Amino acid sequence: MDLSYILNELGEERENYFNAVSPPIIQSSNFTFKTIDDFRLALNDEFEALVYSRGQNPTLNILRKKLAALDGAEDALVFASGIAAISVPILALLQQGGHIVSVENPYSWTLRLFESFLPKFGITTTFVDGRHVENFNKAILPETKLIYLESPNTFSYELQDLGAVAKLAKSKGIITMCDNSYCSPYYQKPISLGIDLVAQSATKYVGGHSDVVAGVLTGSKALITRIFNQEFMNIGASLSPHSAWLLIRGLRTMPLRLQRSFESAKTITSWLGRHPAIDKVIWPFTGDFKQSKLAHQQMQGSGGMFSFTLKDPSLQKTETFCNSLQHILMAVSWGGHESLIIPNIATIAKDEYDVNSERHQLIRMYVGLEEADYLIKDLEQALTAITP
Ligand SMILES: *Cc1c(COP(=O)(O)O)cnc(C)c1O
Same domain, 206 and 262: no
344-361 per-position pLDDT tens digit: 999 999 999 999 999 999
Same domain membership, residue 131 and residue 62: yes
From 194, 224, 250, give the residue that closes a domain.
Answer: 250
Question: How many whole angstroms from its chain centre is CA 338?
Answer: 18
Query: Probe ligand 1: pick from 160, 177, 188, 203, max atoms within 8 Å of CB?
Result: 203
pLDDT reading at 181 higher than 90: yes
Q: What does the pLDDT read at residue 327? A: 98
pLDDT, tens digit, 9 for 90 and up, residues 132-147: 999 999 999 999 999 9
Domain assignment of residue 272, given as a range: 254-384
Q: How far is the CA of 112 from the centre of ligand 1 (A)?
A: 13
Residue nearest to atom 5 of ligand 1 (CA): 82
Ligand 1 center from residue 276 Cα (angstroms): 33
How close is the Cα of 353 to the center of ligand 1, in Å?
25
| 206 shares a domain with 168 | yes
End-to-end CA distance of the chain: 56
- β-pairing, 278-282 with 305-310? antiparallel
Instruction: Quote the pLDDT of residue 64.
Output: 98
Confidence label for 388 from pLDDT (cuts 50, 70 and 90): confident
Residue 22 has pLDDT above 90, yes or no: yes
Q: How many structural domains is the chain composed of? A: 2
Strand order in the sheet with 340-343: 278-282, 305-310, 363-366, 340-343, 329-330
Q: Which atom of ligand 1 is nearest to the CA of 83?
A: 9
Strand runs labelled E in the chain: 75-79, 99-103, 124-128, 144-150, 175-179, 197-201, 215-219, 278-282, 305-310, 329-330, 340-343, 363-366
Last residue of a domain, one of 230, 250, 270: 250
Query: Do both 246 and 263 map to the same domain?
Result: no
Q: What percent of the chain has pLDDT over 90?
A: 100
- 237 and 149 together in one domain: yes
Q: Which residues pair with 216 in a beta bridge?
A: 78, 200
What is the spatial distance between Cα 346 and Cα 348, in angstroms, rounded to a whole number? Answer: 6
DSSP 340-352: EEEEGGGGS-GGG
Is residue 161 located within the same domain as residue 246? yes
Using the 3D structure, point to which of 217, 232, 250 is the last residue of a domain: 250
Q: Determine what percent of the chain is predicted with pLDDT higher than 70.
A: 100
Residue 265, exposed/middle/buried by CB under 10 A (0-12, 13-18, 19+)? buried
Rounded distance from Cα 83 to ligand 1 centre (Å): 6
Whether residues 223 and 309 share a domain: the answer is no
- At 221, the amino acid letter reads K
Asked if 206 and 341 sit in the same domain, the reply is no
CA–CA distance, 8 with 21 (Å, rounded to integer):
9
- 0.85 cut: is pTM over it? yes
Assess whether 201 and 264 both reside in one domain.
Answer: no
* Residue among 204, 235, 340 whose CB has most ligand 1 atoms within 8 A, to mutate: 204
CA distance 190 to 71: 8
Arithmetic mean of pLDDT over the chain: 97
Q: Is the pLDDT of residue 191 over 90?
A: yes
Element (H, E) at 141: none
Ligand 1 center to 179 CA (angstroms): 9
Q: Separation of 211 CA from ligand 1 center, angstroms?
A: 14
Burial 175-209 (b: 16+ CB within 10 A, else e): bbbbbbbbbbbbbbbbbebbbbbbbbbbbbbbbbe
Domain containing residue 100: CATH number: 3.40.640.10
DSSP string, 160-188: --HHHHHHHHHHTT-EEEEE-TTTHHHH-
Among 78, 79, 81, 83, residue to substitute to test ligand 1 (most atoms within 8 Å of Cβ):
83
- Is there a single domain that holds both residue 82 and residue 63? yes
How close is the Cα of 57 to the center of ligand 1, in Å? Answer: 24
Neighbour tally for 280: CB within 10 Å: 17
Rounded to the nearest whole angstrom, what is the distance from the C-alpha of residue 65 to the centroid of ligand 1?
21
Q: Which residues line ligand 1 (CB under 6 A)?
A: 81-83, 107, 150, 154, 179, 181, 201, 203-204, 213, 215
Ligand 1 site-directed mutation target among 109, 111, 159, most atoms within 8 Å of CB: 109
Distance 198 CA to ligand 1 centre (A): 13
- Let me know whether 322 and 187 are in one domain: no
Give the domain CATH number at 283.
3.90.1150.10
Contact between residue 199 and residue 216 where contact means Cβ atoms under 8 Å apart: yes
pLDDT tens digits, one per residue of 224-255:
999 999 999 999 999 999 999 999 999 999 99
202 and 297 both lie in a single domain? no
